[in-house]
Structure 1
Amino acid sequence: MSGAGPGEVPERLCRVAVDLLPVVGASVSLHSDGMPVQLGASGPRAAYVTEIQATLGDSPCQWAARSRSPVLAGDLTTGGDAARWPVFAQQATAAGVSAVYSLPLGDAQVCVGTLDLYGDTPGTLTRGELRTARLVAGMMTIALMALPHEEATGEQDEDVWLGGLAADHDPLYQAAGMIMAQLAVGADEALARLRAHAFAQGRTALDVSHDVVAHRLRFDDDE
């Protein structure tokens, strides 16, 4: 991590995960109000599949965050994993990802996010590989919390600092607030409407949120 700025650390650690494990991609996300917010990824494919997980709202990373335990989907091409998340499995395999291993960041009481590892062929992690993945997830959590966040934001509040790393996703929450006002619905319903529209258009929720914030799309016009 020598010489890395706060925004570079998640991406660098994702690349370390790819070097240490039999995977082709990795990403790290914070989880807030059921919406994964991507902090970094090892490359474009991992970033894209992470956005698919966020858009669909039902995928391995959400299960890992809720259960606070690893979710190992070793075969998205067929069988139980493909049946458990059929839409995600179809889109992930179309992007060249056949296995996803999601590990929570935090402890048994609190999960602040997930480390998601992506394989291009079906398979399971060995006991040793899972132990390594857990160590990487632990180091990811420690590294994120240990960064000199006051240099990045001028604030001592860790929530403010982490929010700064996820600033690219601010339009997602702005759009959800606008949809809440347009439809007079709660936050969960607004996010569900945003995700559904994105899915129907074959886009990511983050992509659609930019249209909402820029007033190119209103959800009350859809009613």
Structure 2
Amino acid sequence: MPEVMTVRDRVAEVIAEETRGCDPGEVPERICSAAVRLLPVSGASVSLRGAGMPVPLSASGERAAYLMEMQVTLGDGPCVEAAETGTAVFATDLVGARDTSRWPVYAHQAAAAGVRAVYALPLGDGTVCVGTLDLYRDVPGALADGEVRTARSVADVMTAALVALPHGEENGPGGDGLWLSPMAMEHDEVYQAVGMVMAQRGAGAEEALDLLRGHAFAHGSTVLAVSHEVVTRRLRMDPD
């Protein structure tokens, strides 16, 4: 009799299909796509844990990318909490009292985008969290036990994939540090903008980031878009 396929076997099979023949830079996005195939979710994204905020790395589609960017802008949400605590954070009903009280602004905006549940899983070995895998669903509800095991297996594969991405000269001439996707490299502007706002306001890094976030929220924008305005000198944040 054929052996029964285990959860890890199934996860490995689907991810192998998704990533076969792709460039290293495509791996995180392909694993996000595999997560959508394996689980009852409509989207997935992955972010690295950065200084003061998550750094978006990849997503399965535009809405997942938007929801990830929203948490960067707000500095709040299941992804942020999972990265800070190193534990899985499941928001099972973003219009329910429990989740709206935890993340009122994020819950409202995510629900407005058509997402009713978010499942954020830390990437790491239990002692060090390097980022999160975030899963999005259009209907409320918890994942079943088997689905949670599948999600954790996907997160384990994602962690291993990130560790295995090219470093240094493997990333091309003049490359240094961990490989980053174009999405992540765009967020270098956020750090540049933080430095410029620190100089303009005589503020610390945390206060400068809060100012960028506040401006983004007040103008219905994202922290990335506001940072681009600051870096290109179309916006200054001098003291009033």
Tell whether the structures are fold-level matches, with TM greater than 0.5. Answer: yes
Q: When the two structures are superposed, what TM-score results if normalisation uses the length of structure 1?
A: 0.94
Q: Which residue of 1 aligns with 2:128?
A: 110
Deviation at 1:163, TM superposition (A): 4.6
Corresponding residue number in structure 2 for 1:14: 32
Residue by residue, what CA displacement relative to the aligned partner does 1:118-174 show, whole Å, maximum 9, x if unpaired? 0111110111111111110010010111133343245786xx124566212111111
Correspondent of 2:171 among 152, 156, 166? 152
Within-5 A mapping of 1:177-192: 177-192=195-210
Residues 51, 156 of structure 1: alpha-carbon distance in 2 compared, 3 angstrom cutoff: closer
Q: For the Cα contact (< 8 Å) 1:198–1:208, is it kept in 2?
A: yes
Greater Rg by CA: 2
Q: Is the 8 A contact 2:92 2:118 kept in 1?
A: yes
The reply on whether 1:101 has 2:119 as its aligned counterpart is yes
| 1:151-206 deviation digits (Å, cap 9, x = unpaired) | 3245786xx12456621211111111111111111111111111111011111111
Question: Do the aligned residues in 2 keep the contact of 1:71 with 1:103 (CA within 8 Å)?
Answer: yes
Q: Which of residues 129, 143, 153 in structure 2 aligns to 1:135?
A: 153
Moved over 3 A (4+): 153-157, 162-165
Taking structure 2 as the reference length, the TM-score comes to 0.87
The equivalent of 2:178 in structure 1 is 161
User: For each residue in 1:90-134, what CA deviation from the matched residue of structure 2 results, as whole angstroms up to 9, or x when unmatched?
Assistant: 100111111110000112211110000001111101111111111
Counterpart check, 1:124 vs 2:120: no
The answer on whether the counterparts of 1:24 and 1:119 sit within 8 Å (CA) in structure 2 is yes
Q: Secondary structure at the match of 1:39?
A: strand
CA shift in 2, pair 1:164/1:48, >3 Å? closer
* C-alpha contact 1:155 1:161 (8 A) present in aligned 2: no
State the shift of 1:6 in Å.
Answer: 2.4
Q: Distance in 2 between matches of 1:27 and 1:162?
A: 17
Residue 2 of structure 1 and its aligned partner are, at CA, apart by: 2.3
**Which position in structure 1 is the counterpart of 2:188?**
170
CA distance in 2, matches of 1:119, 1:163: 27
User: Which whole-Å CA distance do the structure 1 matches of 2:173 and 2:129 have between them?
Assistant: 26
- Computed over aligned residues only, the root mean square deviation of the Cα atoms, in angstroms, reads 1.5
Structure 2, unaligned runs of 5 or more: 1-18
Q: Specify the alignment match of 2:48 in structure 1.
A: 30
What SS class does the counterpart of residue 215 from structure 1 fall into? coil
1:42 aligns with 2:66: no
Match 1:55 to one of 73, 92, 113? 73
